[in-house]
Structure 1
Amino acid sequence: MVTITPPPAPEPHRHRRVAESFGVDPERYDRSRAGYPDAVLGRVVAAAPGPDLLDVGCGTGIEARQFRAAGRTVLGVEPDERMAAFARGTGLEVEVATFEEWEPAGRTFDAVVSGTAWHWVDPVAGAAKAARVLRPGGVLAPFGHVHQLPPAVAEALLTAYRRVAPESPVFAAGPDVPVLDAYRALYDRAADGIRAAGGFGEPEVWRHDWERAYTRAELLDLVPTSGGLTVLPPDALAEVLAAVGAAVDELGGSVTVPYATWGLTAIRTGAVDTSRTARPME
């Protein structure tokens, strides 16, 4: 089985070049990236004691707009000015900073959320910062998508990627752990960071499975937004996309892609050790 691994292990938050590469084409990112199922949003809304949300790594504002449509108020924090500018253009309030360096200026929230972005945050410093800005009973709730391409498409992508970027650590063969299961490791690590930071009850890691159909054009629009591919030069990216497109053509021109949305919820409870807000997880 060929799988596409999570962002560089074991500490993706240290790979800032990849983390801040998604803004190379924010319009494509916003257009092609899947929104979040109602069940995921509902889980977070139900856990929050009030309507005020802080969205960490909000990107173009995909989940922030969904929460806003559900009647929540949302402030975004985003390190990439290009992504933040796009999100502002949709009517969202966004402040540009990494979460670790962001200044809350005394503001507090009912929930700290993060859509497919928390793995770019230091797991201990991020959890401690979240505890500082959450009101009593507030919830820290990072969540994120992972999808599993059909084997023939994944094989074509991986082969082409290795050809154009042989030194990259982002993609690898994984014979034992399907990618939908492998992403649990990111949320187990986040849970460990929460326990180390203190100030929360026991985090609950959860998963929601679903699927989405893609035409050839839709899939080729999505693929360049993946970590690793976002930093390829145009000619190398074109070679990868040609291989993926040929594989989809062999399958009849469309594919159904299974998704897993992994996440966790942790409720703000005890006292906060403010010395942990800048301390990386070892």
Structure 2
Amino acid sequence: MPTLPPEQPGPHEPHRARRTAESFGADARRYDEARPSYPAGLVARIVAGSPGTDVLDVGCGTGIAARQFQEAGCTVLGVEPDARMAGLARTRGLPVEVASFEGWDAAGRTFDAVTAAQSWHWVDPAVGAAKAARVLRPGGLLAVFGHVFEPPAEVAEAFAAAFRRVAPDSPFSGQPARRPLEAYRAGYAKTADQVRATGRFHEPEQWRFDWERPYTRDEWLNLLPTTGGLTRLAPGPLAAVLSAVGDAVDALGGGFTMRYTTLATSAVRTGAA
């Protein structure tokens, strides 16, 4: 788990892979249409745990999570390094400043919550939690969260085999078809350790939400090109991967039910300045 190239915190250093980190805007509209939103219970818990409604969304992308917070009554500012993603988010009503979180100038502004949806692993861990503490008001909430994917084994294995065949030199090619959930939980535990190390947060909490979503063949093949291992593939290799995965989905009857686990690490900023 998942069959996709890892997009959660892991033992490697994804924040250094800037070309991949800023490749998702190659097809921002597809990303916005295909990527799943977040569990309503997660959004409600973050809103309830924040002292107010001013939210900074780090690595907001096209604004998928940010719009959910807006719908919950929050005022959201996005920070996004990819101008293409930011541009689409703005068309959907989200104010966005184009910058990496590490380089972003808060200009004295502070927030009730700092969120990072499927994006914190792209932030330098030596900078991220400490900067979040600086821009949070006392009692403000840092919430880092993201999805873990688990398609059926037949689909996962078809993807992994095709990817190794067309991109043998890619660092993603060495990944197993499926990875245990514990590997991802360990990533969020590591984020909690980084938060503790700042000395500016109360004890972090770990959250988990399990849910399912059905996918047709076309829906899954629309989502796959928005994932980190595929955003930089040339059209020919990409088509080969999608064909192999499509055949696997066809063999299952043309669709499958995806099991999702959404994991989160959260922490409340202390009252100290």
TM-score bucket of the superposed structures, by smaller chain: over 0.9
Secondary structure, counterpart of 1:111 in structure 2: strand
From 128, 135, 142, the equivalent of 2:144 is 142
Secondary structure, counterpart of 1:232 in structure 2: coil
- 1:59-70 correspondence to structure 2 within 5 Å: 59-70=61-72
The answer to whether the 8 A contact 1:198-1:271 is kept is no
- Alignment match, 2:104: 102
2: CA distance, partners of 1:240 / 1:198: 46
CA-to-partner distance for each residue in 1:31-70, whole Å, 9 max, x for gaps? 0000011011011111101000000000000011111011
- Alignment match, 2:254: 253
AA aligned to 1:127 is: A
- Alignment match, 1:58: 60
- Alignment match, 1:6: 6
- Alignment match, 1:200: 201
- Alignment match, 1:73: 75
AA aligned to 1:160 is: A
Unaligned runs of 5+ in 2: none
- 1:196 Cα deviation (Å)? 1.7
Secondary structure, counterpart of 1:214 in structure 2: strand
1: CA distance, partners of 2:190 / 2:2: 24
From 149, 159, 162, the equivalent of 2:161 is 159
AA aligned to 1:207 is: R
The answer to whether the 8 A contact 1:199-1:271 is kept is yes
So what's the TM-score if we normalise by structure 2? 0.95
The answer to whether the 8 A contact 2:3-2:178 is kept is no
- 1:1-282 correspondence to structure 2 within 5 Å: 3-4=3-4, 6-7=6-7, 9-174=11-176, 177-178=179-180, 180-269=181-270, 271=272
Secondary structure, counterpart of 1:265 in structure 2: strand
CA-to-partner distance for each residue in 1:180-222, whole Å, 9 max, x for gaps? 3322132122112112222101111221111100011000001
Secondary structure, counterpart of 2:104 in structure 1: coil
CA-to-partner distance for each residue in 1:117-159, whole Å, 9 max, x for gaps? 0111112311111100101100000110121111011111000
2: CA distance, partners of 1:95 / 1:119: 19
- 1:10 Cα deviation (Å)? 2.1
1: CA distance, partners of 2:95 / 2:144: 19
The answer to whether the 8 A contact 1:6-1:182 is kept is no
2: CA distance, partners of 1:250 / 1:42: 39
Unaligned runs of 5+ in 1: 273-282
CA-to-partner distance for each residue in 1:9-48, whole Å, 9 max, x for gaps? 4211111111111111000000000001101101111110
The answer to whether the 8 A contact 2:3-2:159 is kept is no
Secondary structure, counterpart of 2:127 in structure 1: helix
So what's the TM-score if we normalise by structure 1? 0.92
Secondary structure, counterpart of 1:230 in structure 2: coil
1: CA distance, partners of 2:115 / 2:229: 24
When residues 33 and 4 of structure 1 are mapped into structure 2, their CA distance, relative to the original with a 3 A threshold, is closer
CA-to-partner distance for each residue in 1:82-123, whole Å, 9 max, x for gaps? 000000011110000000110000111000001100111112
Query: Percent identity, aligned pairs only?
Result: 62
The answer to whether the 8 A contact 1:108-1:134 is kept is yes
Paired residues, number:
271
The answer to whether the 8 A contact 1:134-1:268 is kept is yes
When residues 265 and 44 of structure 1 are mapped into structure 2, their CA distance, relative to the original with a 3 A threshold, is same
Secondary structure, counterpart of 1:224 in structure 2: helix
Larger CA deviation: 122-131 vs 212-221: 122-131
When residues 163 and 175 of structure 1 are mapped into structure 2, their CA distance, relative to the original with a 3 A threshold, is closer
1: CA distance, partners of 2:95 / 2:4: 34
RMSD: 1.7
Secondary structure, counterpart of 2:171 in structure 1: coil
Secondary structure, counterpart of 2:126 in structure 1: helix
2: CA distance, partners of 1:10 / 1:16: 13
1: CA distance, partners of 2:2 / 2:218: 23
AA aligned to 1:243 is: A
